[in-house]
Amino acid sequence: MAEIKDPENTVILETTKGKVVIQLLPQVAPEHVARIKELAREKAYDGVVFHRVIQDFMAQTGDVEFGKKGSETFNPSRAGMGGSSKPDLKAEFSATTHTRGTCSMARSQNPNSANSQFFICFTDAPWLNKQYSVWGQVIEGMDNVDKIKRGEPVSDPDSIVSMRVAADV
């Protein structure tokens, strides 16, 4: 198991494929890290599906509005179109590169539209650099990320079972 050096800035993602540990990067994207931790502490990500998973690119999740299994608003055909009830975030683009295991916020064409959705890169994706807000790096469990069912949209998608800040576990 990876050593968790900073439990307040580490999240543990239990997925239907296994555990994924993500080191948060508050020095790179403080507002995005704060949002991820806030939603994790509210258990907002629990049950949220991986709605867009592209081979050799990334796995996207985090639609707490339409992508959360068991919620009143769960709608598989709309998963990926929603966010949280919180305001969108101002972009925090940085020199941190999108490499295998990078966690970054999804957004619309508007750079300041990130809310709750995020993706994990399967491979290096340099064309995303300085265009999306990087907030974390997988430090354990990329083998489990690699097992997430592919699709756009995904039929019978994998999901986040739970997402917790390590300091709270």
Domains, the chain, ordered by start? 8-163 (2.40.100.10)
pTM for this one? Answer: 0.97
Tell whether the model's pLDDT for residue 86 goes beyond 80. Answer: yes
pLDDT value of residue 168: 98
What is the reported pLDDT for 1? 67
Q: Span 61-82, mean pLDDT? A: 96
Q: Residue 142: phi, psi to the nearest 5?
A: -60, -30
pLDDT tens digits, 136-152? 999 999 999 999 999 99
| 32 vs 126: CA distance, rounded Å | 20
Instruction: Dig out the tokens for 107 from the structure.
Output: 């957004």
pLDDT band (50, 70, 90) for residue 62: very high
> What residue ranges in 7-133 does DSSP mark as E strands?
10-15, 18-24, 52-54, 58-61, 102-105, 118-121
Across residues 77-100, what is the average pLDDT?
97
Tell me the pLDDT tens digit for each residue of 25-40.
999 999 999 999 999 9
Mean pLDDT to the nearest integer, 101-105: 98
Among candidates 18, 61, 141, which has minimal Cα distance to 69?
Answer: 61
Q: Which H/E stretch holds residue 137? A: strand 134-140
Find the mean pLDDT for residues 112-131.
98
Longest dimension (CA), the chain: 39
In the predicted structure, residue 2 carries a pLDDT above the cut 80 = no
